[in-house]
Amino acid sequence: MYKSIALLSEIDNKKKDHVLSDCDSYTVQKDGVVEISRNSTNTCLFNSNNNKAIHLSNLLYNNIFKKDIISLDDIGNIVGNENASVFLSQMIRDNILYNSGVVCGEELKKEKYIPTLLISPSSKCNLQCIYCYSNANDAKGYIDEEYYKVAINDTIGNIIASDGYTYKKFLGNTQQCRLAIIGGGEPTVNENLFIDIVKYFSDQCRAQYIEPVVAVTTNGTLSSKVCDILCEYKSEVMVSIDGSKDVHNMQRPFIGGKNSYDIAISNIAKLLAGGCYVVMRSTVTRHSLKYISNILDVALANKIQNIQIEPLNETGRAKDNELLAPYPEEFCDELTHLFIRARGLGISLKSNQLPISLKKRTRFCGACGTNKIVTISGYISACTEVTEPSDPYSKYFFSGKIDLEKQKIVINKNQVDRLSYRYIDNMDVCNNCVMRFNCAGGCPARALRANGDMYSPDKKWCDATVNMSIDIIKKLLY
């Protein structure tokens, strides 16, 4: 009568059973639970809070989800008293029901939200990727020391000024701050600058009893010094590997044409051995789609447990080279097979085009009002793809600037408010979509390129990804 499956390999199913009582009442946890399909005997529900699907008989569906509050007896009348406790415990573990009469005495946990500062320190790159969204080699330079120091000091100062900081120090809980160093080129290409930023951030954090968390997105062609410091901080590292050696070297060669695959794979091994959390990030073009299964083969061969796969965005050098993104339906069909295969192998495969691989959210990404990306020119951008004032989309995503005189980040509140308005409740076309709390309207930059309006999703990708998600759920259930 009831079946539960975990859609993500990392879901923790080791929680202890709840203590059940005949006098307790239970409330349906409706937020995030959506009906996928119904037939004459059962209903499939998807819980976007924890990425679980359930298979529920229509008898149970009608007698549980049609009520606001139920009891243990209500369940017993349907499944039998001897099965009611086991059944109810499972429903609670899957966050379908919660006990509305008991407040659990859990010990205080570390706050999940970690303040994050993003810095794009370089517009230069040592690779000549055929699809680079920023045309990285065509310019420019590196961030000034004053800009990154002001940004780090201002971010830490805001943490110190918050009420939570004082409470955490008093209670002995470690406050964290995350520095994410990203590309507008390759962020590690100037190794001394990269190391200086990481060390300055770490020193400022530790002086205030804050734990530094370091993250970087890189092409993987790291020097030994950069590898060492990333391992020292047990960093979160996203490395671009586009699949097999041939595909990767064709899409991501060094300037001058040399191959980059072997050095990137070698550095991944060093990072994993050094305790870093490594994600392999793969970009799929229309040409490379036929080889998409090789991405999983590379991950398996190199003991990589986390993969992020995204289709090409037709912008920057990709647009100049007339390089094409895969067709949405074809990409989603291939991704379906790859996701199911990865799940069977215990590998976490995620994609923004695969909503069920993502946690519940009401905004697609930090570009919707929360990102503060410090660019080399001292501007603050909300979008990782928009880091230059000359970019036509800077008027949408630039939200502030480093003020060297005031020694702080100055934010344009009206611009942030406009970006923050881009959340799921304000996107009417998404209202009845079963994936709305996972997809959250899709990429705002892609929507702008497709429609000239960030509040209207790119429909061709939207339809394909929703259909794919439902298809995967059905394949896993039956």
DSSP sequence for 66-116 = T-SEEEHHHHHHHH-HHHHHHHHHHHHHTTSEEETT----PPP---S---E
Q: What is the mean pLDDT of residues 240-260?
A: 95
380 and 438 fall within a common domain: no
Is residue 104 domain-resident?
A: no
Residue 439 belongs to domain spanning? 422-477
Is residue 441 domain-resident?
A: yes
- Secondary element (H or E) of residue 45: strand 42-47
283 and 306 fall within a common domain: yes
Q: What is the pLDDT of residue 16?
A: 39
Q: 225-229, 241-245, 335-339, 355-359: which range is least confident on average?
A: 355-359
Is residue 91 domain-resident?
A: yes
pLDDT band at residue 96 under the 50/70/90 scheme: confident
* Higher per-residue pLDDT: 39 or 371: 371
275 and 153 fall within a common domain: yes
Q: What is the mean pLDDT of residues 240-248?
A: 96
53 and 134 fall within a common domain: no
368, 403, 418 — which closes off a domain? 418
379, 400, 418 — which closes off a domain? 418
317 and 271 fall within a common domain: yes
Q: What is the mean pLDDT of residues 68-94?
A: 76
pLDDT of 9 > 60? The answer is no
pLDDT of 80 > 80? The answer is no
Q: What is the mean pLDDT of residues 138-145?
A: 80
47, 71, 99 — which closes off a domain? 99
Cα-to-chain-centroid distance, residue 173: 25
Distance in angstroms (rounded) separating the CA atoms of residues 359 and 392: 31
pLDDT digits (tens, 9 = 90+) for 393-418: 899 999 999 999 999 999 999 999 99
Q: What is the pLDDT of residue 5?
A: 61
Give CA torsion, residues 388, 389, 395, 396, to 10 deg. 10
Dihedral over Cα of 317, 319, 324, 327: its sign: positive
126 and 153 fall within a common domain: yes
193 and 308 fall within a common domain: yes
426 and 412 fall within a common domain: no
Q: What is the pLDDT of residue 355?
A: 82
Q: What is the pLDDT of residue 7?
A: 58
Is residue 208 domain-resident?
A: yes
pLDDT band at residue 390 under the 50/70/90 scheme: confident
157 and 214 fall within a common domain: yes
pLDDT digits (tens, 9 = 90+) for 188-210: 999 999 999 999 999 999 998 88
Is residue 228 domain-resident?
A: yes
B/e letters for 406-442, b = 16+ CB within 10 Å, e = fewer, are eebbeeeeebbeebbebbbeebeebeebbbbbbbbbb
- Helix H segments across 281-356? 293-301, 317-320, 328-344
CATH of the domain at 71: 3.90.930
Q: What is the mean pLDDT of residues 79-99?
A: 74
Is residue 105 domain-resident?
A: no
Cβ atoms 357, 316 nearer than 8 A = no
Is residue 70 domain-resident?
A: yes
135 and 93 fall within a common domain: no
Q: What is the pLDDT of residue 102?
A: 36
384 and 432 fall within a common domain: no
Cβ atoms 294, 247 nearer than 8 A = yes
Q: In what order do the strands lie in the sheet with 42-47?
A: 2-6, 52-57, 42-47, 33-38
CATH of the domain at 295: 3.20.20.70
pLDDT of 114 > 50? The answer is yes
295 and 354 fall within a common domain: yes
pLDDT digits (tens, 9 = 90+) for 260-280: 999 999 999 999 999 999 999
pLDDT of 171 > 70? The answer is no
Dihedral over Cα of 419, 420, 423, 427: its sign: negative
Is residue 108 domain-resident?
A: no
pLDDT digits (tens, 9 = 90+) for 12-61: 444 334 455 555 566 767 667 777 777 777 777 777 677 677 777 778 87
pLDDT band at residue 472 under the 50/70/90 scheme: confident
Q: How many domains does the structure of the chain reveal? A: 3
Q: What is the mean pLDDT of residues 101-118?
A: 52
Q: 136-140, 261-265, 278-282, 425-429: which range is least confident on average?
A: 136-140
Q: What is the pLDDT of residue 30?
A: 65
- Identify any residues that bridge with 127 across adjacent strands, giving them in sequence order: 254
Record the tokens describing residue 31, joined without a space.
């937020």
